[in-house]
Structure 1
Amino acid sequence: MITLHHCPQTRSMRTLWLLNELDVEFQVRVYAFDRSLRDPAYLSLSPAGRVPALEIDGERMFETGAITEYLCERFSPDRMGRSVTSMDRMAWLVWVHFAETISQHTAALTQQHVALREDSMRSPIVMKLEAARVAKCYDALEARLSTPVENRDYLLTSGFSAADISCGQAVYMSRFFVTLDNHPAVAEWYERITERQSFKDALPIGDGIYEKDFYEPWPLD
């Protein structure tokens, strides 16, 4: 049995979305986004106290990129993954891991807008810089998706894959802070991939981390 340790509206949503696409049985243990992730029992699964953590065949994994590579190689090397002989293997690896570039900036914005409780702790400068960095990530996705290649409906020419899941989940998070208004190809791609039932089944039921649909940047004094 596969067990995913998951917090709604975090990077572990990426793994849940992928598991929903795979023909495997799994169960989900849901945690609040709080100090329960610092419990010694959980730290034995993920030593930095982060999600996701994955238990599979008596072994434990953490880090979304590693989990994505392992699950695809084992269960779906040529549908969700791309095998080493695939022409799209290099691009698959790039975009699977580019999701973390997006997510690191979104995490900083989440800290500024959500995690820091006192206004005096927050920095409009950091908010502005990190939002600009997210927009730069959108630029990279826009360039990839706008390339005049036949059937470029997804990040890979060969079709939908875990690369779309990884980056798509990262964009799901970043849209709380930076809209896709200036990136039409990304917006179309995002709408396309989030129509999948596997994405819908990964959405939070009830409360998540975010209380607003969009967090406006703070003005600089």
Structure 2
Amino acid sequence: MAITQSKDCDLVFYTNPMSRGRIVRWMLEEVGAEYRQVLLAYDTDMKAQDYLALNPMGKVPALVHRGRVVTESAAICAYLADAFPDAGLAPPLADRAAYYRWLFFAAGPLEAAVMDRVLQVSVDKDQEKMVGYGTYDLTVNTLVHAVSQGDYLAGDRFTAADVYVGSHVMWGMEYGSLPVRPEFEAYVARLAKRPAMAAAKAIDDGLMPDSQVS
């Protein structure tokens, strides 16, 4: 895939290499479409009025495709899979149950459980019924189940759900927000063979300060 500086490119990617934009970068490399990247700094560019007009949250990533704005990493991954069907990153409509299930499990319960854990937010027994993830351990065990049902989340076929969920698993184990489980390690080992993942990582690592590159 080529990163272009052309203003006429119909796919524009707003990101920062130290953000969830890394997920979308991987997805962009998987679909193989030409895109223009716009690098934004925290607290300045992301809070500028022209960017807030695209994403009032003032966060990245964001994608603009032919004038249409898409935010939220899971939504962008799903959108790109549909916008570029030749890449084969979404199952046929009749076979999308597991694909949707795990994509949104990671965007909802998993992200909430992990973030509460990182921020040391405690949930008591009565509150477990209120939060979507129930408990952190329940969420982790459910994720273990998800990655153990086949080579990939939607069976034997790699999809956009693996880009999104796999990114969470990789980062979680690397930074300690998820435990190192053999099921996670086996899943990540399969994902690490994706040329697009290696290409995306190389691009984002090259944009980071030297001291921040892992």
Provide TM-score, normalisation by structure 1.
Answer: 0.73
Deviates more, 1:171-180 or 1:192-201: 171-180
Contact 1:4 1:54 in 2 (8 A): yes
Contact 2:14 2:39 in 1 (8 A): yes
- Equivalent residue for 1:116? none
CA spacing shift, 1:61–1:39, aligned 2, 3 Å: same
- Are residues 1:126 and 2:121 paired? yes
- Are residues 1:92 and 2:90 paired? no
* Residues 67-105 of structure 1 deviation map (CA, whole Å, 9 limit, x = unaligned): 2222111212772112313x2x01101112222233334
- Unpaired runs of at least 5, structure 1: 113-124, 214-221
Q: Which letter does structure 1 place at the counterpart of 2:42?
A: F
- Equivalent residue for 1:115? none
Q: 1:56 aligns with which of 32, 46, 65?
A: 65
Deviates more, 1:161-170 or 1:186-195: 186-195
Distance 1:164 1:73 in 2: 15
Sequence identity (%): 24
Contact 1:11 1:170 in 2 (8 A): no
Counterpart mapping for 1:43-122 below 5 A: 43-76=52-85, 79-85=88-94, 87=95, 89-101=96-108, 102-107=110-115, 112=119
Contact 1:11 1:52 in 2 (8 A): yes
- Equivalent residue for 2:142? 140
Q: 1:196 aligns with which of 171, 190, 194?
A: 194
Q: Which letter does structure 2 place at the counterpart of 1:189?
A: Y
Q: 1:172 aligns with which of 170, 173, 182?
A: 170
- Are residues 1:24 and 2:24 paired? no
- Equivalent residue for 1:4? 13
Contact 2:31 2:87 in 1 (8 A): no
* Residues 145-185 of structure 1 deviation map (CA, whole Å, 9 limit, x = unaligned): 334xxxx111121411111101011223322123543x211
- Unpaired runs of at least 5, structure 2: 1-9, 125-133
CA spacing shift, 1:158–1:192, aligned 2, 3 Å: closer
Distance 1:207 1:106 in 2: 25
- Are residues 1:39 and 2:48 paired? yes
Contact 2:20 2:73 in 1 (8 A): yes
